[in-house]
Chain A
Amino acid sequence: METYYNPQDLGKFGEIGKDAPELAKKFFDYYGSVFAEGELSEREKALIALAVAHTVQCPYCIDAYTRGCLEKGASLGEMTEALHVVTAIRGGASLVHGVQMRKIAEQLSL
Chain B
Amino acid sequence: MSAAHETHETGFAETLVKHDLKLHRDRTSALQVNVGLLCNLACRHCHLEAGPKRDEVMGRETMDEVVAAARRFRFEVIDVTGGAPELVPDIDYLVRALAPLTSRLMLRCNLGGLDLARRRELLELFRAVRPVLVVSLPATNPSQTDALRGGGAWASTLDTLRELNAIGYGREGTSLELNLVANPAGAFLPPAQGAAEKRYRTDLSRKYGISFTSLYTFANVPLGRYRDFLTRSGNLEQYLATLADGFNPCTVAGLMCRSQLSVDWEGRLYDCDFNLAAGLPHGGEVTYLRGLAELPAPGTPIPVGDHCYACTVGSGFT
The reply to whether B191 and A71 contact each other, CB–CB distance below 8 Å, is yes
A73 to B2, CA, bound (A): 18
Given contacts A71-B189, A75-B143, A77-B141, A32 and B2 within 8 Å (CB-CB): yes
The reply to whether B191 and A28 contact each other, CB–CB distance below 8 Å, is no
Given contacts A13-B4, A65-B1, A37 and B188 within 8 Å (CB-CB): no
Centre residue among B1, B7, B191, B195 by max chain A CB count within 10 A = B1
Interface status of B207 (Cβ within 8 A of chain A): no
Interface status of A15 (Cβ within 8 A of chain B): yes
The reply to whether B191 and A73 contact each other, CB–CB distance below 8 Å, is yes
Which B residue's beta carbon lies closest to that of A42? Answer: B195
The reply to whether A67 and B3 contact each other, CB–CB distance below 8 Å, is no
Residues of A within 8 A of B7 (CB): 11
The reply to whether B1 and A43 contact each other, CB–CB distance below 8 Å, is no
Chain B binding surface, main DSSP class: loop
Interface status of A87 (Cβ within 8 A of chain B): no
User: How far does the Cβ of A10 sit from chain B's closest Cβ, in whole Å?
Assistant: 7
Which B residue's beta carbon lies closest to that of A27? Answer: B3
A41 to B6, CA, bound (A): 27
The reply to whether A70 and B195 contact each other, CB–CB distance below 8 Å, is no
The reply to whether A77 and B196 contact each other, CB–CB distance below 8 Å, is no
The reply to whether B188 and A70 contact each other, CB–CB distance below 8 Å, is yes
Given contacts A13-B1, A14-B3, A43 and B143 within 8 Å (CB-CB): no
Chain A, residues 53-87, CB within 8 Å of chain B (1/0): the string is 00000001100110100111101110000000000
Task: Apart from A73-B190, A75-B144, list 19 A-B contacts with CB within 8 A.
Answer: A11-B5, A11-B6, A14-B3, A14-B5, A15-B4, A28-B2, A31-B2, A31-B3, A32-B2, A42-B195, A43-B191, A60-B1, A67-B188, A70-B186, A71-B184, A71-B189, A73-B182, A73-B199, A75-B141
| 24 residue pairs A–B, Cβ–Cβ below 8 Å | A10-B1, A11-B5, A11-B6, A12-B4, A13-B4, A15-B4, A31-B3, A35-B2, A37-B195, A41-B195, A42-B192, A43-B191, A43-B199, A60-B1, A64-B1, A70-B184, A70-B186, A71-B189, A72-B192, A72-B195, A73-B182, A73-B196, A76-B144, A77-B141
Show the binding face of A for B, using Cβ within 8 Å.
Answer: 10-15, 28, 31-32, 35, 37, 41-43, 60-61, 64-65, 67, 70-73, 75-77
